[in-house]
Chain A
Amino acid sequence: MRSAHAVQRAAWPDVGGAVAFLEQVYAVAEADARKLRHDPVILLTRAVQPALWLLVFGQVFARIRGVPTGSLSYLDFMAPGILAQSSLFIAIFFGISVIWERDLGILHKFLASPAPRVALVLGKAAAAGIRGIAQAFIVYVLALFLHVDVRPSILAVIGVFLMVALGSAVFATFSLVMACLVRDRERLMGFGQVLTMPLFFASNAIYPISLMPAWLQVISGINPLTYQIDALRTLMIDGATSVFSVPLDIGVQLVFLGLLVWLAARLYPRVV
């Protein structure tokens, strides 16, 4: 029995292993998604912040016409930025859930299971992606309500959802890395709060990079949020064109995700 299994594996290397790995990733992500289903109120409370940015900040700045946004109206320009920002604000605190699981002992059981650490981390990243998609849904509804000029295409909507999921996964994994290093809820909240605004302001969320002073342009160039927003704007808004090209946007985020997942998987056992 065992040798037959070995032969099978030799003939077709590690398909069984890959399936098991994906199922482990899925298990971690699914558990989180099911929690959302048991308590969907969490999602509604998160609609408040992007609504305020779009309704108040967006409306006022659109009237001033102070930010040159080319052929796009200011509201069209900023809507994808606010989508990215609202999912960033959720993802950056994602590590808190891991510290909570540590306090409960759930994490101990995960780490005492044979699931590879990379699978546990990718599962968390995917869970953050799912939460990001829920956020994208809310911002789309707000955008339609405010007559933002969204691309009327199912493919564009799917692209936006995937891009929000990717960005959320990047920042949630970053949050996991921080959680592994600080190992404490309050400190992680502190770091999250210190980092969100610089990430947001050093990006093209609410003004184009060309308006920034040179030093800020450099920082925004290494900020993954910039690339996420560039892709989101291109996919979401009718008439928007990419500054960097969407494949590059995706590539940069994937590189960040890969590095952060590797780092988080190495640091994960430290949380215990």
Chain B
Amino acid sequence: MPADAAAVETIDLVRRFDELVAVDAVSFAVAPGSVFGLLGPNGAGKTTTIKMLTTLLAPSAGTGSVNGYDILREPVEVRRRIGYVPQALSADGLLTGRENLSVFAKLYSIPRSERRGRIDDAFELMGLVDAADSLVKTYSGGMVRRLEIAQSMLHSPPVLFLDEPTVGLDPVARRVVWDHLRAVRQAFGTTILLTTHYMEEAAELCERVAIMHQGRIAAIGSPAELVTASGAPDLDGAFAHYTGAGLTEGGSYRDALRTRRTARRLA
């Protein structure tokens, strides 16, 4: 990949579900090594965008690339180079933390001689050494999230996708997850694309954000730029300005159900 190329890029990405246009001509580029946030209310199309970039969902139109590989023509090359933490708490509670990581070490064909070391390093980096051999169902919500980040980083992907990484976490656990994401970035120079509807999270972590509303990008820039451009006092105000928050309520029944289920597992 050329040095100046974007780590993640979408060009007029569209996804329709029957009549609903979930993602409507979305274009953005993420610079290598930066943290980019997709902001928006529930149902704005953030998760659908991530699912297309992680090759889980085919776009209806438009295209995108990850680390220079086309998401439609080279999906396997894309998958080799990404880590993905879905919105739902996706570690298997019936297995230990180590077993959870071991499955993915094999799925990513990490050489046998490196597996143990990489898994130990990941536990170290995420502060989970003491919990490594406990069943995940005994973990706290924040620990599960860190385990998932550890798992997504096992194969040292250049790009990491996180869908609502701290939804349902208490403020302390949220801050710990942020600290660990910063550590990942510092250690590996990983490009991070995350979705969130917490303005605080975007302001803390992201160099650039795109505010999504009803499938479109309403505004894009650094948090400071968006605040200035909107004339609002802070990012919350900018968000309200661009999404008309309070006037429309997005999010399907299924979205709400999933968020609640995640919250319940975290409790």
Contact = CB atoms under 8 A, between A and B. Distances in A.
Interface of A: 20, 23-24, 26-28, 30-31, 34-35, 38-39, 103-106, 108-115, 269, 272
Please provide the 7 A-B residue pairs with the shortest distance between their CB atoms, ordered closest to farther: A105-B90, A27-B106, A105-B88, A105-B86, A20-B109, A112-B84, A114-B79
Given A39-B94, A109-B104, A114 B57 contact: no
Contacts of B103: 27-28, 30-31
Given A108-B90, A114-B79, A24 B109 contact: yes
Q: What band does the interface of chain B fall in when counting residues whose beta carbon is under 8 Å from A?
A: 20 to 34
A110 B82 contact: no
A113 B90 CA distance: 14
Given A35-B95, A103-B88, A104-B92, A112 B82 contact: yes
Interface stretch (B14-22, B35-43, B48-56, B233-241): B48-56
A41 to B, nearest CB: 12
Residue of B79, B80, B87 with highest tally of chain A CB at under 10 A: B79
A108 B80 contact: no
Contacts of A113: 79, 104, 107-108
A38 B89 contact: no
A34 B99 contact: yes
Contacts of A110: 107
A35 B109 contact: no
Contacts of B109: 20, 23-24, 114
Contacts of A35: 92, 94-95
A123 to B, nearest CB: 9
Contacts of B227: none
Interface in B134-163: 135, 151-152
A103 B261 contact: yes
Given A23-B109, A30-B103, A38 B56 contact: no
Nearest to A115: B107
B56 A269 contact: yes
Given A38-B95, A113-B79, 18 more contacts: A27-B104, A28-B107, A31-B92, A31-B103, A34-B95, A104-B89, A105-B88, A106-B92, A108-B54, A109-B84, A109-B86, A109-B90, A109-B151, A111-B56, A112-B55, A112-B79, A113-B104, A113-B107
Contacts of B152: 109
